[in-house]
Amino acid sequence: EEIDSTNRLVRDLARDGSPEGTVVIAREQTEGRGRRGRGWFSLPEKSLVFSLLLRPTSIGPVHCPQIALVSALALSLSLERIGLLPGLKWPNDVLLGGKKTAGILLESSLERNEVNWVIIGVGINVNMEEADFPPMLRGKATSLRIEKGEFVEKEQIITSFFSFFREWYARWRKPGEDRALQEAYTRRLVGKGEPIFLRGTGEVLEGRMEGIDEEGALLVFTKSGLRRFQWGEVSFCAAQKRQ
Ligand code: BTN
C-alpha cells in the first residue's frame, strides 16, 4: 500500500532469498528514488510505481545495463498499444512529446563477478494533470493522461508491460538475438543524428548521437572520433520539441 520505495523493499526481499519474478506494486511511495541520487515524484492513484526482481544467473555483469533498455522498450510498446507514440531517451527514459513520462532505476548486486540479482524499478506518470506536477517538473514531465487526453487504466499498462517485458527479456537472453533489441530500441531512440551533450563520464562531452550498438552502449561521434559509452546522461543541444 504505502511504502518508502519499492526498490528498497524488493532489495530487502532479494537479500532474504525471494525468487526471480517477485514484484512489489505500491499505491503510494513516499521516498521514491530516481537515477543519480535524485528522487522520484509520484502521487497515489495517479502514478504507477513498481519493482521487479530478476536473478539472471549466467549473464556477465557487463550485460546488466541492457536490462534497462529491455524494460524501456517494453514500456514503450505498452504505451504504443494504447495509441501513444513514445520516444526513448537513452538509456532508460520514456518520453512523450519530448517530456518525461516514465523512468527506470536499475539496481544490481554482484558476487564474485556473477550477477546475484537485478531490480528494475519503474515509475510511470499515468493520470496526472499539469497542475499535479511540482513547479520544477512543469514543462519537463508529462503523463499518459495529458498526452492521450483521457483517463488511462493503470491495470492495462502494467499487464501489457509484463507481457512485453517477458517476451523481450526471453528474446534478449537467447544468444544472437541482440540485434532485435538494438533495432527495436533504435527505431524509438530520441535524438539520433543530433548534437548532444553527454554527462557522467567524468567530463561533459559534445558530439553527434549515432545510435546504440548491439550491447546497448551509446555511440557518439565526437571530435576525437566515434566513441562508445555504457552509461551517462544525454542532454540535447537544441532544446526542441520532439516525440
Ligand atoms: C529515473 O530517475 O528516471 C528513475 C526513476 C525510477 C522510479 C521508480 S518508482 C518505483 C521504483 N522505486 C523507486 O524508489 N524508484 C523506482
How do residues 81-116 score in pLDDT, each as one tens digit?
A: 999 999 999 999 999 999 999 999 999 998 888 899
- Ligand 1 lined by 47 (C-beta under 6 Å): no
> Rounded distance, CA 188 to CA 85, Å?
9
pTM listed for this prediction: 0.95
Cis peptide before 65 (omega within 30 of 0): no
Which pLDDT tens digit goes with each residue over 15-43? 999 999 999 999 999 999 999 889 999 99
CA of 229 to the centre of ligand 1 (A): 22
> Rounded distance, CA 6 to CA 156, Å?
20
Nearest CA to ligand 1 atom 11: 121
> Do the strands 99-111 and 47-54 form a parallel or antiparallel pair, or are they unpaired?
unpaired
- Ligand 1 lined by 191 (C-beta under 6 Å): no
Per-residue pLDDT at 101: 98
Find where cell 554482484 sits. Answer: 110
CA of 164 to the centre of ligand 1 (A): 19
How much of the chain, in percent, has pLDDT values that exceed 90?
Answer: 82
DSSP state of 61: G
Contacts of 9 (CB under 8 A, 6+ apart): 3, 24, 51
- Ligand 1 lined by 35 (C-beta under 6 Å): yes
Residue of 169, 163, 143 lying closest to 86 (CA atoms): 143
- Ligand 1 lined by 40 (C-beta under 6 Å): yes
Q: Which of 36, 122, 124, 233 to mutate to test the pocket of ligand 1 (most atoms within 8 A of CB)?
A: 122
Nearest CA to ligand 1 atom 15: 33
Q: With 50 as the cut, is the pLDDT of residue 242 above it?
A: no
